[in-house]
Amino acid sequence: MHLSRRHFLNMLAAAGGSSLVYNASLAMDFMSKDAKLTSLNLPPANDKNKSIVILGAGIAGLATAYELEKAGYNCTIIEASHRAGGRNLTLRHGDLVDELGNPSICNFDDNHELYMNCGPARLPGHHQRILHYCKALKVPLRIFANSNRLAYLHDSKNFGGKPVRIGEHMADGRGFVAELAHKSLTTGQLDAGLTEEDIAKFKQFIAAFGDLKESGLYEGTERAGSTVDRMLFHAKPKAPKSLTELINSPLFSRLQFMSEAYDWGEPLMTPEGGMDKIVDGFMGALKSPVILNAQVKSIYQGDNEVEVSYVKDGKVVKHKANYCFNNIPAHFMSGIYNNLSENYRTALGALKRGKLFKIGFQMKERFWEDEGIYGGISYTDLPVTQIWYPSNDIFGEKGIMLGAYVWGNEQNEYFERMTPKQRLIVAAENGEKIHPGYAKYIETGVSIPWSRMNHMMGCGSRMSEDDHKKYFSLLQQPDGRHFMIGDQISYHPGWQEGALASAENALSIFSQQVGK
């Protein structure tokens, strides 16, 4: 049988999950490269179309204002919330946790190292747009540990319900896949089409991949650590778990590959002192007014201008501009009077609210560091789903730990329906299963259900596949003088890079239009 390259990739996929294919494809240079963003350098504004109104001071709105301002436009940003930044939210001591129906104040200690990134928290090296702005706005970044081989996979139904170090699972998984592949080549069933030399080289790769013995067998590896002190004795690897036990665990089969995703590939970065340093950077650079606590009531498009009315200090204010860039979550648009075209409004209505939930705990001691964990993420099949260890302030007295990071509608609703206090109790109980004694370290906590947060009511908007085909490209285009922007108008909702891409797209169409 002839082993084509495609066939080889399929085989790997069957044996080890699609992430292996991904890596192999990368090695073979199949994947496209990401475009590098240089400054947008919009053409200078002309006098006829100089005034711009931007709705929503999220990342897309701020970047749009920044670029237009540089080109000489007069911008006004109108923001419904008490703060700029949208879902780029970092909570610290004394901040308002603005959940609809459950407002509270964040009780973290007053310390610059004690903060929680409630929305975006990590930046991969290929998100060139957001990194470009970090550089331009002089936002200091540092490395952020996303994956950590010493963090845990916790499967409550397997391995005796005990957490297993991710590195052990990785070593065993690769070992068994390699052993299988090595055997297949030896028996000559899959090697047709490869020369003797090819096979020898490929076997070297396989052996290195799984750390196999010379025999081609996997008998455990030092990569997963040692049962004796490795400095004073020869390392003695743990015996591998049985293959049947391993593959019985859905977490083993899925979650050890989380950091294989392109957006979570190491190394990641994060702004020193909190993600909202990017918001601060934009706010410091902008000269345009950013009007806070101003909820938009109507958007009316005439022939030569757009009239937006908003409420500020108990009064309706009408604001006219030549063009409008709209960063408001699309699911609010049917509640805001507007005269956008019917097609466009239908398309906006097809964007549905996504859900995402986080909990932040202030821990009085950094107990995870005693377990050799410095940054990174543990995964569990319990409702909290993920636990994040802070990458900042190693050996500090205290730390803010992410006590839950939850996707999926049902899982989110489970937490949303609880009072904020109940949510923390459940998350503490979940944490106990991974780190016995966990709850006693908790001093205070906050919960952020994004689909309940005031003026947001959602995170990572969704569209059905059919609607996407029908409507999405429409929303990437303006409706008259109105441009929709935000991560919602990208193929990457929930990422600042998606928000910036939407702004870049809108601005490039805009400058072609006004240039005429």
- List of residues contacting other proteins (CB under 8 A): 80, 100-102, 295-298, 300, 307, 309, 311, 314-316, 330-337, 339, 349, 351-353, 413, 416-417, 419, 452, 454-455, 457
Q: How far is the CB of 421 from other proteins (least distance, A)?
A: 12
- CB contact burial 188-210 (16+ within 10 A = b; e otherwise): eebbeebeeeeeeebbeebbebb
Select 151 or 294, whichever has its Cβ closest to other proteins.
294
Smallest separation, CB 308 to other proteins (Å): 10
Minimum gap (Å) between residue 302 Cβ and other proteins = 9
Q: Closer to other proteins by CB, 311 or 439: give it.
A: 311
Of 13 and 418, nearer to other proteins (C-beta) is: 418
Rounded to the nearest 10 degrees, the angle between the axes of helix 342-349 and helix 465-475 is 130
Q: How far is the CB of 506 from other proteins (least distance, A)?
A: 22
Looking at the Cβ atoms of 71 and 292, the one nearer to other proteins is 292
Q: Return the sign of the alpha-carbon dihedral for residues 81, 83, 86, 87.
A: negative
Nearer to other proteins among residue 352 and residue 469 (C-beta): 352
Residue 141's alpha-carbon distances to 31, 72, 85, 278, 354, in angstroms, are 27, 30, 18, 10, 29
Nearer to other proteins (CB atom), residue 203 or residue 353? 353
How many other CB atoms are found less than 10 A from the CB of residue 184? 15
Give whichever of 118 and 181 is closer to other proteins, judged by the CB atom: 118
Nearer to other proteins, 296 or 377 (CB): 296
Measured in degrees and rounded to the nearest 5, phi and psi for residue 367 equal -60, -30
- The H or E element that residue 473 is part of is helix 465-475
Cα first-last separation, the chain: 61
State the nearest-atom distance from the C-beta of 263 to other proteins, in Å. 27
Q: How far is the CB of 464 from other proteins (least distance, A)?
A: 13
Amino acid found at 187: T
Residues 6 or more apart from 204 whose CB is under 8 A from it?
Answer: none
Integer Cα distance of 69 and 56 in angstroms? 16
Least distance (Å) between residue 364 CB and other proteins: 29
Nearest distance, CB of residue 492 and other proteins, angstroms: 21
What is the number of other CB atoms lying within 10 angstroms of the CB of residue 51?
Answer: 16
Bridging pattern class, strands 376-380 and 152-154: parallel
Backbone angles phi, psi at 105, to 5 degrees: -115, 140
